[in-house]
Amino acid sequence: MKSAGLVRPIVRVVLALALGALLLTPTSASAMTKFQGGPTTNLNPAGDTIHIALSNFPATGGLYVVECLRTATAGSLATSCDSAHQLWVSYDANASVSPMGDVALKVSGVVQGKTCGVDLCGIFLTYDHTKPTDRTEDQLINISFSAGMIAVVKPLDVITAKINNVAMSGSVPGSLPYHATLTISATSASGSLVTIKSSTPDCTVTKNVITALKASGYCDFALTSLGNLSLQAVTSHYPFALSAGVQSIRTIAGSAKIGARYYLPAKSNFGNVVTYVSTTPDVCTVAKTIVTGKKVGACVITAAAPAQASLWGALSSKVTLKII
């Protein structure tokens, strides 16, 4: 089965829209995709697989198939559905599985740290990202778990993660510019150490610092807690959209005396040679990276460095020095 890793952000956004229009109640319509297969009852809450055959599948567009709490409401997707095992069913070559194939959905008795009990969860079907506002395929298939096995299931641990002190989202991709260094701080409800791994080679993790090695595409970071005696191990995924790097020079501050030399950074953060020009030649002059004050006032200098195609933009900034 093909991975749907990179479509997860899309899946989540689309499902969020779908759930906004649908309180998860069983529905049916003759034109809908017909759900067949099983088992859908007496499932093992520790983990089970439902083999689904879909008929009357839409001719255009695909479907997302995912286990959700039946109490899911608008805006609660991130805490109401099992995004780790959701499937994208489509004729698209990148889909998790073809509608003609064995749609094998893994389910468990705990979704996003909340128990399904015997009959608190279901399988949600909705149009995929190609028809994000079309609600005509929304339906919930009830499932139930074995009452005798429920007691042994521990709820999942819950990871709380921040990046540069801002809460991370598992449903909306964050932004990660090329070679920017962002620090993840993560804790778990169990108190277990949270480890961080990049799921893709385009990004790296060194200790808790993540870095993008490319300027386009997506990276996914997997945060894992091993849980404890009362909470199950869990891995949460956090997508990031990669973007061009921001070329800069170190902050210039302070002042320079008339006649004294002030040295500007020779290179940008990406190693490019920076070209400086004084726009206030009566106050200061610039020779390569050396500023010389001529009279008291604000010395304004433009800093420029070329872009690197597809990796970072050009540097074009102003530096102001006070000449005293």
Instruction: Report the interface residues with another protein, using CB under 8 A.
Output: 178-179, 198, 201-204, 206, 211, 213-214, 245, 269-271, 308, 311-312
> How far, in Å, are 5, 27, 107, 171 from residue 200 at the CA level?
10, 38, 25, 17
Q: What is the spatial distance between Cα 239 and Cα 235, in angstroms, rounded to a whole number?
A: 13
Total Cβ atoms within 10 A of residue 152: 9
> How far, in Å, are 18, 77, 93, 284 from residue 3 at the CA level?
22, 21, 11, 59
Taking the complex as a whole, the smallest distance from the CB of residue 323 to another protein amounts, in Å, to: 33
Query: Closer CB to another protein, residue 210 or residue 323?
Result: 210
Taking the complex as a whole, the smallest distance from the CB of residue 205 to another protein amounts, in Å, to: 9
Query: Closer CB to another protein, residue 156 or residue 210?
Result: 210
Taking the complex as a whole, the smallest distance from the CB of residue 269 to another protein amounts, in Å, to: 7
Taking the complex as a whole, the smallest distance from the CB of residue 244 to another protein amounts, in Å, to: 12
Taking the complex as a whole, the smallest distance from the CB of residue 5 to another protein amounts, in Å, to: 16
Taking the complex as a whole, the smallest distance from the CB of residue 179 to another protein amounts, in Å, to: 5
Taking the complex as a whole, the smallest distance from the CB of residue 178 to another protein amounts, in Å, to: 7
> How far, in Å, are 256, 280, 302, 305 from residue 318 at the CA level?
16, 12, 4, 12
Query: Closer CB to another protein, residue 38 or residue 313?
Result: 313
Query: Closer CB to another protein, residue 150 or residue 304?
Result: 304
Query: Closer CB to another protein, residue 160 or residue 269?
Result: 269
Query: Closer CB to another protein, residue 78 or residue 213?
Result: 213
Taking the complex as a whole, the smallest distance from the CB of residue 304 to another protein amounts, in Å, to: 17
Query: Closer CB to another protein, residue 118 or residue 311?
Result: 311
Which residue carries 């559905």 as its tokens?
81
Query: Closer CB to another protein, residue 198 or residue 278?
Result: 198
Q: What is the spatial distance between Cα 40 and Cα 145, in angstroms, rounded to a whole number?
A: 8
Cα torsion through 93, 96, 98, 103, rounded to 10: 170
Type of residue at 239: P
